Structure 1
Amino acid sequence: MINKRKRLRLIVVMIGFFLLSLIVIVAKPEVGSAVSVKPILPKNQHNSEATYYDLRMKPSQEQELNLELANTSDTEQKVTFQINDATTNDSGDIDYSDRSKSISRDKSLKISLKDIATIESELIIPAKKTITTRVYLKMPENKFDGMILGGIKVVSSEKNNKLSDSDDKRQDKKTYIVAVKLTETDTPIVAKLNLLTILSSRESNKTVIKATIQNDQAVNLEDIEFVAKVYKKDSDQLFSQSKVTGYRMAPNSSFVFKLDEENKKFSAGKYQIELTAKSKATNQEWQWKKELEIAKSDNRKDRTAKDVTDKEKIMLYTIICVITFVLLLLLLLILLILRKRKEKRYEEALYHRKKKRDRNNKNIQRNRKSKSKNVERNKKKKPADYSRSKR
């Protein structure tokens, strides 16, 4: 009986934990691998205070860059490498990750780091060891002004853990970026921004205006403020305004500036858009004016996509609710069974106690009757004995 009770209680506890797991997501702390990365700066380092490669190069120059990798852990570490060009992401920052799958190479980029740099794809670092790997550079024949900007992506993990490009958020690996800046001259380059396209699209069941802005020069641009004002056609009243500050742009790159004011809905119609970009670092300013017509959206298509999404959400919520209801019902049933068993045991205990008490009472009554009979019997015997003694 005791083992059955323990088993039932264990089942109840397990079901309770399972129900909590449907609601609570436990996030484990990130644990990175124990590999450190240190660039060994060569003699032609242009900026001695920089902790990345800032090299003054010559046309057709070939050079090996040394990268020191130290494994301080007790296990072998697998390290993978990737050469990437610097781009500008949609958050307005210079990005050294591999974005070739999501964006195409900018048309203004003539020479990229990928074109002139190579490195081995991976290596194994023994435990408690430090090794040096090399990046091979070969500059183009023709002299250029400006800069080539990119980065070396280093990803480390334990040797037995397999890594993939689609698994960038694993808890057992760590990513390092070592920037690489190459120049040949001190000729000043002035950044130039262009408004390539401005169009509307549907995102999250609302219309968003997107402006694609390009920096077509081989120089980065810092501390940029973008302001977009939207007017309805033939109206001087401001309809919507978007503003961002502190943006940066990589050389020969472009990014998408989204005008998605939450409190405003861009319905079908014609709009006048005034876009201003201002760099506080160079005191440059660019202004563009564009007309945009937002056509009547295919409501049926949008509604269908929305319905599919809603159906998937409803289905998911329904499954979760059904599972939760069944588990709660099962838990309630187990609790009722336990309670019934407890009541039954209590009633049985009362019954046996009463039965024992009744049996004791009967024994007492029987003993009393037996004693009274003996007394009566003795009383009847005494006169006969007395008369016999008199004689």
Structure 2
Amino acid sequence: MIKKRKTLRLIRVIGIFLLSLAFLLIGSKTGMAISVKPVLPKNQHNPEATYYDIRMTPGQTQDLKLELINTSDKEQQVSLQINNATTNESGDIDYSDRSKIVARDKSLEIALKDIATTESELVIPANKTIVATVRLKMPEHQFDGMVLGGIKVVSSEKITEEKDANTKKNQAKKTYIVAVKLTETDTPVEAELNLLELISLSEANRNSLKATIQNERSMNLEDIEYVAKVYEKGSDKILQQSRLTGHRMAPNSSFTFIIDGEKQGFQAGNYKIQLTAKSYATNQEWKWDKELEITKNENKKTATSNINSEKKHIMLYTIIFIITFVILLLLLLILLISRKRKEKRYEEILYQKKKKRDRNSKKAQQNSKSKINKKARARKKKKRPASSEQIQEQGKQSK
């Protein structure tokens, strides 16, 4: 019986732990308390756009309004950032802050961060809406093309990652990004792509080639296909081919095209690389033919890099395993201590109950013995024979 109770208590503790974990996970997926709504101005160039697409003039100043809505019962703190648009590793236009990852492109003359300012932090009272202001000051000289960037609003709340066209959220903090596009003229600007660099490198334990392609014009480019063909020098046989489709490029930004080698990577030797980039949106196409030599020393460096990378991965996995093991050990220790204390309390209660029963039983036995003794004395008294004096007295009474 006691074993069954212990098992039930253990199951109950584990159940409570799992339920608590489930509630935490469910809580992390609940709706956001903060929402963001851009207030589109009268000079909105595309009225159907849900982001800022504004027609400006040289030297113009303007305030962009952004509604920050707090639907919760607690005040919320948010931070605001102005970011330039870049092209990320996935081949998409990115409005987040990537200044620590990629340097500003040399072709970028006018950036959103150069002409836009806003408050760095704001507090939104509970169940209230406030309006944030982004101040624009255009340069004095006219430009063709576009200035592209985003307003990033970061809340202190936490949420799982979700993404849509103009909104990005991550697990660390709830984040909204509203795109900002500024133009002054309708003069068409064609994108122009350049191959800035083609080098060999080692990534993920594989020897690869890295091509850096730049869009030097202030115009975004849509629906791009990249194709890379690698030949051994002097051969027409394709050694390796890579293709990427459906990519985009932000104005005045660069994209890194990784050309994977075989499992062992590209070996030492001379190679010819044919690169093609084509935009199906504008029907533009660019081609580059390059030659590249990979030396044995580079191969050795790559092999050493692979070994070091593997060691780092093993070390990382070891650390993660140790931390996980320690956490599980602590949880098990806490569970065992809690279980031991409960068992001790339960045994103490049982002991006290038994002690009480023993006292009551002893008292009952004593009471029972006392009653038996009284009855015995009474019976003995009745059976005792009469003395001679009592007999004489009884004879006198009868006469």
Q: TM-score of the superposition, structure 2-length normalised?
A: 0.71
TM-fit CA distance, 1:27: 5.3
Q: Which moved more, 1:108-117 or 1:56-65?
A: 56-65
Summarize the alignment of residues 202-217 of structure 1 with structure 2, pairs less than 5 Å apart.
202-217=202-217
Partner of 1:384: none
Cα gap change, 1:93 to 1:99, in 2 (>3 Å):
same
Distance 1:228 1:289 in 2: 10
- Contact kept in structure 2, 1:230 and 1:241, CA below 8 Å: yes
Matched, 1:309 2:313: yes
Distance 1:316 1:131 in 2: 43
**Stretches of structure 1 lacking an aligned partner (at least 5 in a row):** 160-167, 335-391
Distance 2:210 2:136 in 1: 38
Matched, 1:246 2:250: no
Tell me the percent identity: 60
Matched, 1:110 2:109: yes
Partner of 1:297: 300
Deviations along 1:86-145, whole A, 9 cap, x unmatched?
A: 000011100000000111000000010000000101111112211211110000111111
Distance 2:311 2:244 in 1: 34
Partner of 2:41: 42
TM-fit CA distance, 1:71: 1.5
**Stretches of structure 2 lacking an aligned partner (at least 5 in a row):** 159-168, 340-399
- Contact kept in structure 1, 2:207 and 2:261, CA below 8 Å: no
- Contact kept in structure 2, 1:240 and 1:264, CA below 8 Å: no
Partner of 1:62: 61
Partner of 2:197: 197
Matched, 1:88 2:91: no
RMSD: 3.4
Partner of 1:270: 270
The residue type equivalent to 1:178 in the other structure is V
- Contact kept in structure 2, 1:83 and 1:150, CA below 8 Å: yes
Distance 1:79 1:16 in 2: 37
Partner of 1:72: 71
TM-fit CA distance, 1:82: 0.5
Distance 1:182 1:129 in 2: 30
Partner of 2:366: none
Deviations along 1:242-291, whole A, 9 cap, x unmatched?
A: 00111110000001011125667312222111000001111100000111
Distance 1:97 1:120 in 2: 17
Partner of 2:130: 131
TM-fit CA distance, 1:238: 0.4
Instruction: Find the residue that maps to 2:307 and give its secondary structure.
Output: helix
Summarize the alignment of residues 110-259 of structure 1 with structure 2, pairs less than 5 Å apart.
110-157=109-156, 169-170=170-171, 173-259=173-259
- Contact kept in structure 2, 1:209 and 1:258, CA below 8 Å: yes
TM-fit CA distance, 1:16: 10
The residue type equivalent to 1:205 in the other structure is N
- Contact kept in structure 2, 1:64 and 1:134, CA below 8 Å: yes
Instruction: Find the residue that maps to 1:81 and give its secondary structure.
Output: strand
Q: TM-score of the superposition, structure 1-length normalised?
A: 0.72
TM-fit CA distance, 1:316: 5.7
- Contact kept in structure 1, 2:202 and 2:305, CA below 8 Å: no
The residue type equivalent to 1:150 in the other structure is G
Cα gap change, 1:321 to 1:40, in 2 (>3 Å):
closer
The residue type equivalent to 1:68 in the other structure is E
Distance 1:175 1:319 in 2: 30
TM-fit CA distance, 1:13: 7.4
Distance 2:91 2:304 in 1: 35
Deviations along 1:3-45, whole A, 9 cap, x unmatched?
A: x874576458768999x9xxx9x95543353222111111111
TM-fit CA distance, 1:306: 2.4
Summarize the alignment of residues 14-53 of structure 1 with structure 2, pairs less than 5 Å apart.
28=26, 29-53=28-52
Q: Aligned pairs, how many?
A: 318
Q: Which moved more, 1:148-157 or 1:86-95?
A: 148-157
